[in-house]
């Protein structure tokens, strides 16, 4: 089995001070929260998420809930949604994530998950 890669920087301690030092841009982005395994050889992902505009602020919402974080900036809210969906499917399909439901798309968007049938729009022909 191929090793899954979050394609994120880190892990770093999940503290306000560390977030402010490391995550310096106001930007859309993605993150993973978790901890190191016992021998500190692997980062164990417990939760994946995104921010549509302020990843620094979104990470701070989780301080005290998890030990470590990884993150990456995204070029747009849509790119962040698509990467969060990928991470959710990569790390949540047969693994245990604290995410209980599929990532939500931003309110008012019509974006679909590129990895499953969530949010697919069925066309109905009303002219039958």
* pLDDT per residue as tens, the chain (128 positions): 456 889 999 999 999 999 999 999 999 999 999 999 998 889 999 999 999 999 999 999 999 999 999 999 999 999 999 999 999 999 986 668 999 899 998 888 989 999 888 776 544 434 44
* Torsion of the alpha carbons at 15, 63, 33 and 95, rounded to the nearest 10: 150
CB 15 within 8 A of CB 22: no
Name the helix (H) or strand (E) containing 43: strand 43-51
Q: Model's pTM, two decimal places?
A: 0.88
Cβ neighbours of residue 31 closer than 8 Å, sequence gap 6 or more: 8, 48, 49, 50, 51, 55, 58, 59, 69, 70, 71, 72
């Amino acid at each position: 089995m191929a090793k899954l890669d979050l394609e994120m920087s880190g892990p770093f301690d999940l503290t306000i001070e560390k977030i402010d030092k490391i995550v310096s841009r106001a930007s859309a982005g993605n993150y993973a929260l978790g901890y190191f395994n016992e021998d500190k050889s692997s980062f164990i992902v417990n939760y994946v998420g995104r921010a549509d505009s302020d990843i620094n602020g979104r990470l701070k919402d989780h301080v005290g809930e998890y030990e470590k974080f990884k993150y990456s900036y995204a070029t747009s809210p849509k790119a962040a949604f698509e990467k969060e969906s990928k991470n959710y499917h990569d790390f949540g399909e047969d693994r245990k994530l604290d995410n209980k439901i599929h990532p939500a798309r931003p309110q008012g968007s019509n974006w679909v998950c590129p990895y499953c049938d969530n949010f697919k729009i069925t066309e109905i022909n009303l002219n039958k």
